[in-house]
Each structure stands twice: as C-alpha cells, then as structure tokens.
C-alpha cells in the first residue's frame, strides 16, 4: 500500500474491502474544501481560495484518486487536475459553452452535431471533477426533469433519426450510474435497428477503477459492438488498479481508447507525453485523440498554444511507435468535426525537401 493511500485510509479508517468497493469510493469522495484543506494542512489563505473556487465549480475527489498525489510536489499533476484553483474563477472573457453544444440539443442533453453520431449527456455527476473539464458549466445545474424522462426523450429522438448509427454515452460520467440504469439504457439503444455502434466515454478507469466490476463487464459485453473511451492525462494515472480495470474491459471484448487533453504544466512536454503514450500502449489502451484544451470558462489557465502542441507532437511522431500516436485535434463549434492539427503536413515539408529525389521517382 502506498503511504498516501495509508493516510487517507487512516483518516477514513476503512478496510481494504471498502477501498475496492466503488460505492464506498463514491460515497467517500472529498467534496468539502475544508476537509481537503485539513488533509493537506493548508494555511488559512489557501483554505479560503479553495473555498471560493469550489463555490463556483464543485469539488469531488475519490479517495483513490487522492491517493495518487505526491504531496511533496507542489505542482503534482494529479493534484492540478482535481484541486480547485482561484484561477478558475478569475477568468471573465471565455465562453461557458465554446463548442455551442447547447444550441445543438434537439432534446435536453442530447448533442447532435455530426449527422451519423450523437452524444448523450446522461448525467452531470462525476466521480472526480476534473478542473479542466469543458463541460464544467453543467456541474451545478440541477436537472429539471427526471432521469427516466430524460433518457426516454433521448431514446425517442434517436429511434426517429435513422441517420444516427453511433450513440456516445457521456456526461458527466455515465459510470456513476447504477448498473441497472445503464443496462436498461444499453438494452433500449440496442433495440433500435439503425444504431450500429455504441460508445461510452468515462473516466472511471482513471479516477475510480473499482467501478469496472465483473457485473458491469457482463452488461457491457452484451451491448457490443461497444467502444470504451477513457481519459488518462498523465503517466502517474497508470497504476496497477487502472491497468486492471482496462484489462477487464479488454477481456470482455471491449476496445479501450484514450482521449487526453493537452494541459499546460501537466502533460505539455515531449517527455511526459511520451511516457503517457508508451504507458498506455503497455496496458493495451489505444491513444485516440489528444485534444487541444477548449477555451471554456474556468479552464483558461490550462491552455497552451497550438504551436507548443504541434512541436511536441512532431517530436513524438519522429520518436515513437506508430501504435502510440494519438490524433492531435482541435474541436470547433458546428458540424465540421474535430480538426486534426496535422503535425505531418507541417513536418513533411522539411522531409519532402530532404527526400525530393525519392518522391520524384513516383511522379
Ligand atoms: C467529439 C464528439 C463526437 C465524436 O466524434 P469522433 O470524432 O467520432 O470521436 C460526437 N458528437 C459530439 C457532440 C462530439 O463532441
Ligand atoms: S470526468 Fe469528464 S465530464 Fe467529468 S469532470 Fe472529468 S472531463 Fe468533465
């Protein structure tokens, strides 16, 4: 057991059995800035900062994710992803909804931006709230309609839209829902003939890996073809527990892919990104996207510029296994799709000049 786990463990005085139970992890999330400050022995002024930021954007950290923090490092990458920061509320000029998702919702919380795919926001709740989340505007919104009505309306719209062949179940984190709710949703979607593919977007393997249980895998297995996308952002998140969670999904025949967000001071260096991508390849998780951080309100301090991202990705493209390369993309409002920030087209200009005689042969 690592020492951090022990300290949270002692504080909450729990057993290993509790620790590996996702309901326990969820129930014991750190949600009060005061408790977080106590755990860290923070000085009064830091305490007040945590409080102010968490009043605008709620705080939640599972004991498991908290246990990954190295407290001797002030800039710990796990800490930065989950601790409220005053910088979140000092930003005034960025939009809440930069991708204009809210204007692409034919029924509440169903985003239909691309003709053949839609994205169902099935809950606003997450096991751990990521401070860089581009949907943080939803966190404190209390649902106006019941879960049942919300899901029924979505299913009705999808049934009546034959162009939709893929449904992305997202949130919030859909794996904060109970098994029977998820199962009912998956079975309903599967009964729609034109829905060929399902996708789940969840950070559970990273922030609450005990959520991936045998029962859940059985439910997901029956809903195949189902693709699972998660979000590892830093190599420290690749642990025996998260690897085990991914492996259970893989053994159930569910491909696991990863969508990282490029985060300043967390993973915007070639070294860290390379370790992350190789770490993912080692646990058979396919890097899919690296998102340029959206200009969403409350996330501005995580943003790097595209040039830094392109430079880093060019290094990685030149150094790393092709299987470990994600597509670096920029999401934009509207229906164009995510725009690939094509490192190759930039790099290839140099290569083209170097290998001109070679290319000339194939004209
Ligand atoms: C990202 C996204 C998708 C999925 O896009 P892919 O490029 O297929 O991964 C679908 N719908 C919405 C609204 C999205 O934001
Ligand atoms: S798990 Fe996803 S939806 Fe939830 S806070 Fe993190 S990025 Fe946002």
CB 285 within 8 A of CB 256: yes
The answer to whether 114 is a known catalytic residue is yes
Q: Give the pLDDT confidence score for residue 358 in this predicted structure.
A: 73
Q: Give the pLDDT confidence score for residue 228 in this predicted structure.
A: 98
Tell me if the bond preceding 172 is cis, omega within 30° of 0.
Answer: yes
User: Which residue out of 32, 117, 274, 346 is catalytically annotated?
Assistant: 117
Our answer on whether the CB atom of 211 is closer than 6 Å to any ligand 2 atom is no
User: Which residue out of 133, 217, 246, 293 is catalytically annotated?
Assistant: 133
Q: Give the pLDDT confidence score for residue 357 in this predicted structure.
A: 78
Q: Give the pLDDT confidence score for residue 12 in this predicted structure.
A: 67
Terminal alpha carbon distance of the chain: 61
Q: Give the pLDDT confidence score for residue 40 in this predicted structure.
A: 82
Q: Alpha-carbon distance 58 to 136, whole Å?
A: 9
This prediction's pTM: 0.94
The answer to whether 157 is a known catalytic residue is no
Ligand closest to 97 (CA) is 1
Our answer on whether the CB atom of 113 is closer than 6 Å to any ligand 1 atom is yes
C-alpha 125 to ligand 2 mean position (Å): 8
User: Which residue out of 288, 294, 297, 299 is catalytically annotated?
Assistant: 294
Contacts of 227 (CB under 8 A, 6+ apart): 197, 198, 199, 200, 254, 255, 257
The answer to whether 203 is a known catalytic residue is no
The answer to whether 65 is a known catalytic residue is no
Closest approach atom of ligand 1 to CA 259: 9
Count of Cβ atoms closer than 10 Å to residue 44 Cβ? 8
Our answer on whether the CB atom of 130 is closer than 6 Å to any ligand 2 atom is yes
Q: Give the pLDDT confidence score for residue 8 in this predicted structure.
A: 67
Q: Alpha-carbon distance 67 to 1, whole Å?
A: 10
Q: Give the pLDDT confidence score for residue 349 in this predicted structure.
A: 73
Q: Give the pLDDT confidence score for residue 222 in this predicted structure.
A: 98
Q: Which of 57, 131, 135, 237 to mutate to test the pocket of ligand 2 (most atoms within 8 A of CB)?
A: 135
Q: Alpha-carbon distance 332 to 340, whole Å?
A: 11
Our answer on whether the CB atom of 203 is closer than 6 Å to any ligand 2 atom is yes
Nearest CA to ligand 2 atom 1: 203
Q: Give the pLDDT confidence score for residue 4 in this predicted structure.
A: 61
Closest approach atom of ligand 1 to CA 168: 10
Q: What is the pLDDT along the chain (363 residues), one digit of tens a residue?
A: 455 666 666 666 788 899 999 999 999 999 999 999 988 888 888 899 999 999 999 999 999 999 999 989 989 999 999 999 999 999 777 788 888 888 899 999 999 999 999 999 999 999 999 999 999 988 877 677 899 999 999 999 999 999 999 999 999 999 999 999 999 999 999 999 999 999 999 999 999 999 999 999 999 999 999 999 999 999 999 999 999 999 999 999 999 999 999 999 999 999 999 999 999 999 999 999 999 999 899 999 999 999 999 999 999 999 999 999 999 999 988 778 899 997 766 667 777 777 787 777 776
Put the strands of the sheet holding 117-121 in their side by side order. Answer: 110-114, 117-121, 166-170, 197-201, 226-230, 256-262, 286-292, 327-330, 339-340
Q: Give the pLDDT confidence score for residue 363 in this predicted structure.
A: 66
The answer to whether 126 is a known catalytic residue is yes
> Closest Cα partner for 130 from 121, 138, 122?
138
- The residues spanned by each domain of the chain are 3-88, 101-354
Q: Which fold has domain 101-354?
A: TIM Barrel (3.20.20)
């Amino acid at each position: 057991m690592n020492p951090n786990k022990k300290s949270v463990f002692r504080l909450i005085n729990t057993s290993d059995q509790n620790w590996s139970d996702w309901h326990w992890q969820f129930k014991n999330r750190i949600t009060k800035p005061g408790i977080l400050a106590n755990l860290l022995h923070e000085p009064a002024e830091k305490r007040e900062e945590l409080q102010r930021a968490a009043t605008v954007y709620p705080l939640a950290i599972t004991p498991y994710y908290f246990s990954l923090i190295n407290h001797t490092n002030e800039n710990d990458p796990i800490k930065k992803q989950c601790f409220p920061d005053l910088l979140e509320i000092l930003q005034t000029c960025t939009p809440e909804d930069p991708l204009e998702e809210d204007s692409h919702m034919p029924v509440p919380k169903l985003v239909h931006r691309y003709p053949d795919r839609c994205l169902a926001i099935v809950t606003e709740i997450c096991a751990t709230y990521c401070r860089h989340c581009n949907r943080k505007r939803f966190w404190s919104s209390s649902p106006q309609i019941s879960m049942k009505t919300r899901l029924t309306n979505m299913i009705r719209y999808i049934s009546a839209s034959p162009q939709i062949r893929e449904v992305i179940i997202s949130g919030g984190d859909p794996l904060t829902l109970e098994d029977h709710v998820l199962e009912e949703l998956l079975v309903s979607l599967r009964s729609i003939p034109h829905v060929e593919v399902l996708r789940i977007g969840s950070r559970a393997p990273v922030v609450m890996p005990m959520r991936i249980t045998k029962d859940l895998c059985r439910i997901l297995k029956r809903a195949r073809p189902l693709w699972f996308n998660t979000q590892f952002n830093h190599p420290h998140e690749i642990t025996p527990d998260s690897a085990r969670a991914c492996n259970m999904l893989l053994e159930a025949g569910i491909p696991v892919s990863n969508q990282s967000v490029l985060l300043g001071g967390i993973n915007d260096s070639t070294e860290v990104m390379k370790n992350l991508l190789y770490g993912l390849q080692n646990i058979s998780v396919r890097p899919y996207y690296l998102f340029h951080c959206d200009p969403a309100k409350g996330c501005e301090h995580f943003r790097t510029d595209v040039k830094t991202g392109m430079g880093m990705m060019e290094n990685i493209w030149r150094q790393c296994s092709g299987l470990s390369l994600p597509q670096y993309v920029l999401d934009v409002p509207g229906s164009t799709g995510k725009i690939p920030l094509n490192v190759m087209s930039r790099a290839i200009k140099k290569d083209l000049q170097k290998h001109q005689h070679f290319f000339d042969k194939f004209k």
